[in-house]
Amino acid sequence: MKKLKFIFVSLFAILMSCDSDDSDVPAVLTPSNLSVSSVVSTDNSGLVTFTATATNATYYHFDFGDGTSGLTNNGSITKTYDMIGDNTYTVVVTAGVSGNENTISETLQVAVSLGFSDPETVALLTSGSSKTWFLAAAQPGHLGVGPAREGIDGDWWYPKWYSATAFEKCGSEESDCFCDDELTFSTDGTGAISYTLNNNGQTFFNQGHLGVVGGAGDTDACYDFDTSGSKNVTLSMVSGNVPDTETRGIQMDFSDGGFMSYYVGSSTYEILSLSEDLLYVRSYDSEDADLAWYLRFTSAPSTGGGDERLETIYNNLVWSDEFDVDGAPNPANWTYDLGAGGWGNGESQTYTDDPENVKVEGGMLKITAKGTGGASGITHYYDDVTLVAAGGASAPIEDFEGTAPAFTGFGGASSGVIDNPDASGENTSSKVAESLKNFGAETWAGTFFDVAAPLDLATYSSISIKTWSPAAGATIKLKLENQADSEESYEVDLVSTVANAWETLTYDFSAAPAGTYDRVVLFFDFGVSPAGGAAYTSARIKSENLYEFTYGRVEIRAKLPSAGGTWPALWTLGANFDQVGWPTCGEMDIMEHVGNNPNVVSSALHYPGNSGGSAITGATPIATATSEFHNYTMEWTPDSIKFVVDDEIIHTTFANSSDTPFNSDFFFIMNIAMGGTLGGAIDSGFTEDTMEVDYIRVYQ
């Protein structure tokens, strides 16, 4: 026990001796003399290099001022800021010593200017180094006009093509300089873009900007204008009324007044579409804030066809008709539309299934339009459509003396403004409207025209119309509709009381429910289909309910009729047409031709917002369209719709998306119409003309 006690006492003494000696304990360190510097890169990358030094510091913490931070032991660190524009960041740097809480901080302001960059856009514009673009002269959409970014009420409109047929601008003396321009985009690999425009000494000027070159007048024209020198191109984000599926959301700004081929006083262009082969842009007219100009460029110069070949993705033949068995078209593939009128286009033919109008012969499908040269139907006349109040006050709706309204016929009826054929009795005015109801027309055939403002039925409870009928007892129906909703309507029937003379019929609309009535519809001889031989007969065959498909490459080899008034078409219609109607179902016109504009073929896409005269269209000249066979092709994918002639001339390209109706089954239609809204006047000497189809094939 004594020995153990001695050891403990000795150990305690030793420990006490160590505690009392402070010379071996290190002092607690505190960082000091903190210095921080920053270097902002000038390469437009947003890169900033920070350097920090401090006495005694063993680590440095950086709060970069954008919600991110970093830690380093040696005081050197880099940061890449990604906010576009001119921005200033408050950066806090804290120096400390590992193992204790003593720190020191310094704050500095860092200004970073960062331009937008999109590597994919740069690569496509420049091919990684330098790339030259050319006007897409073979495409009618190479120049279009539409609303500015905010448009009217912020709506997005597709452009109206400035040239109705391909090469129109390139074949006219005042604008042919437009088609030789070369636009070169280059990059040095850092993301910066430079641009040069070689316009061969002349620029195509919009008429509103002729003052720039001392010109004057009310037409666009070419002028000598120097565009030499390189411009810088800056990319930036842009948003507006264009659907996301129709734009890249990126715009180009050119320095020093740079512009793309057509002079409208702007150096800013929104990129709507960009691929290796296509650059589609729009710019805003500096003299008219409501106008946007659309331009298409390609990566190869256009020489009138043959330079833009279709690289198809569909090569497996899945359906065809080779028309190699004489007789009626194969009933397993084709059925018929029968009747008159063209379903809303004011056409003059009656469709039949008669072999004189449609047959397979000698390995060809032959659709033949025929004319008898005789009378074509029953004619009525009308004039002075007028609102009438109970007290006798009146307000004109239409008297047909000025600009004629745009008539739309349906079921085999059509209307137009003519000289008054019987200026006597109750109507001695100069101009009247004629209503023609073709032989074989539907019993409900009629026509309509739209008015600029809704009719005021609260003030005026009746509508009077002067009418002329070939017989008494004809039912004349007047119907008012809402253009936007045909279900909102009200109609009144009256009967003609005299033959071959003018009379005034007054329709009572006092019981009509309140509504927006801005369409006037007239049916003459309602309930009757005029008897007699049709002046023009033709055929319209379709694959509805027999063959319908989604996506693929369609090829049709055909030779077209040439007579004035013929309107042949090879086209497709959405298979849900009977459920949702047109244009909701969608329509893809592979080929249309007008005998009054021979050897120019067109294609079109119709769908809501882009139907009738507002369809997406393209056209191209084919010198032998009516004398030789040509291949008319459509390649339809989830991403695009392309129309091609002879595998070479792509004259309409459309970016398909989930927002269009072009993503479900469609069926084929082949026909020849006569006259109507597109066919125009029929040659007075017309007897017959034929469209021949060698084959139709679908590849997927």
648 counts as catalytic: no
- Contact yes or no for 537/349 (Cβ under 8 A): yes
Burial 206-244 (b: 16+ CB within 10 A, else e): bebbbeeeeeeeeebbbbeeebeeebebbbbebebbbee
* Of 517, 543, 276, 483, residue with least CA distance to 385: 517
Rounded Cα–Cα distance for residues 182 and 279 (Å): 13
Helix, strand, coil percentages, rounded to 5, for the chain: 10, 45, 45
Residue with tokens 């316009």: 199
Active site residue 592: yes
Distance (Å) of CA 362 to CA 217, 326, 365, 445: 58, 7, 8, 38
| H or E stretch at 629 | none
**Catalytic choice (347, 398, 544, 592):** 592
8 Å CB contact between 274 and 282? no
Alpha carbon distance 625, 683 (integer Å): 19
Tell me which long-range contacts 529-532 makes (C-beta under 8 A, separation of at least 24): 529/412, 529/440, 529/441, 529/442, 529/443, 529/445, 530/377, 530/378, 530/437, 530/438, 530/439, 530/440, 530/441, 531/439, 532/375, 532/377, 532/439, 532/440
Task: Say whether 439 sits in a helix, a strand or coil.
Answer: coil
Q: Report helix, strand or coil for 571.
A: strand
Whole-angstrom Cα distance, residue 590 to residue 555? Answer: 9
Contact indicator for 365, 401 with CB cutoff of 8 Å: no
Half-sphere exposure of 147 (CA within 13 A, CB side): 13
Q: Indicate which residue of 398, 481, 587, 635 is catalytic.
A: 587
Residues 6 or more apart whose Cβ sits within 8 Å of residue 201? 224
Residue of 563, 576, 687, 572 whose CA lies nearest to 641: 572
CB atoms within 10 A of CB 473: 10
What's the rounded Cα separation, in Å, for the pair 9 and 697?
111
Distance, CA of 40 to CA of 62 (rounded, Å): 16
Rg (CA), the chain: 38
d(CA 37, CA 109): 10
Integer Cα distance of 535 and 91 in angstroms: 86
Report helix, strand or coil for 219.
coil
Max Cα-Cα span within the chain: 154
Kindly tell me the burial class for residue 344, based on how many C-beta atoms sit within 10 Å of its own C-beta (0-12, 13-18, 19 or more): middle
Q: Comparing C-alpha atoms, which of 600, 587, 591 is closest to residue 163?
A: 600
User: Residues with catalytic annotation?
Assistant: 587, 592
